[in-house]
Structure 1
Amino acid sequence: MSRVTLQEIFQHPITQKYVGRSGMAHAVAVAYHAFKFAKLYGVHPDLACKAAFLHDIGHYTWYRNGHWDYELYKQNDIHAIKGAERAHKLLIRLGEHPAAAKQISLAVLFHTDSFLPDNSIEREALQQVVALADEADEEPGGGHHYKEIAPEEAESLLVELDRMIEKSAGQYQLAVTAGS
């Protein structure tokens, strides 16, 4: 089974629609942060970067009086739940190994605890990497979702990140067996 690349994920219409809506510049930046954190936590960079890139694919835009309302979003947010489902479906469609798609989707689900009443999650290493990567790019008031990037630049950065992943992947065993 060949590796599904970040470039392939980026080019898919579902990614363009939903990651584009939540902030492509943020998604790319978080994927790069995840690459760094993956090394520190001993996590396979392929899983980390894919989960980080897709972490906000479940965002719903909360509008009030024609403007996106960050406070309304924070009160009603379940984007991690919806995002885990969308990420899994997308990855399976693209040919990702089912066990890897599950791990990535769980990392999308647990990248935030905003949907939980007590705001507490005990994360596995991959999930922690994605949460830290997201936090590393956050800006007050959700400003990280409004950063701009040209589509060509985003794709070029992801192609470079794919190269970095390929280069470093030999150092890690990709655990894609059931139960891993």
Structure 2
Amino acid sequence: MLLLLLLAHAWQRGQGIEMLGLRFDLPPTQRYQLAAAIVIVALWHLGMHGAMRVLGTDAGGAQAFDKIASNQLMPRTSAEARVFVLFVIVIGLGSDLLYRGFLINTLAPMTGAVAAILLASLADAITYGYDKPRDIPGNFALALLLGSAFYLSGSLLWIIVLHLGLGLSTARIAWQAMHRDGGPG
């Protein structure tokens, strides 16, 4: 909701979606970044599938799969999985637009690029780690990496593809791990 209000305010001031770093008429460099993001997601997915096969034959792997299956946040049925995928897309897209696109572009002229990236990354990490403070450092590192990549490249599109692709791929692998032996759902 906050993101929609911020976008409405920006639109009222005559700023478009380009203000967030989103452009669809990409220059060649940004096309390469987008292609690289797609390749990285594909390699990640293939690597995770391979790791799953190797771990599936290992006693420790079975324990890891059981731990995934016991996670209360994971969907249990196909209907829950569809809602979960929608949730991952909306939250991932919203966080990229808000924390990277909007906050970094808004704060950088006032605080400088480094402070803008640090503040936006901290806000992102706290948002995702408020219920589990032990997750904040990892979330901060990821947000810092994505924020820096966005600022240096000037393009949010490839960051969104990378972030959503890795998240959805990981969710699919977790779903398969949960259902490897006719488990839940």
Tell me the TM-score normalised to structure 1 length.
0.31
Q: Which structure has the larger Rg?
A: 2
Which is helix-richer, 1 or 2? 2
Tell me the TM-score normalised to structure 2 length.
0.31
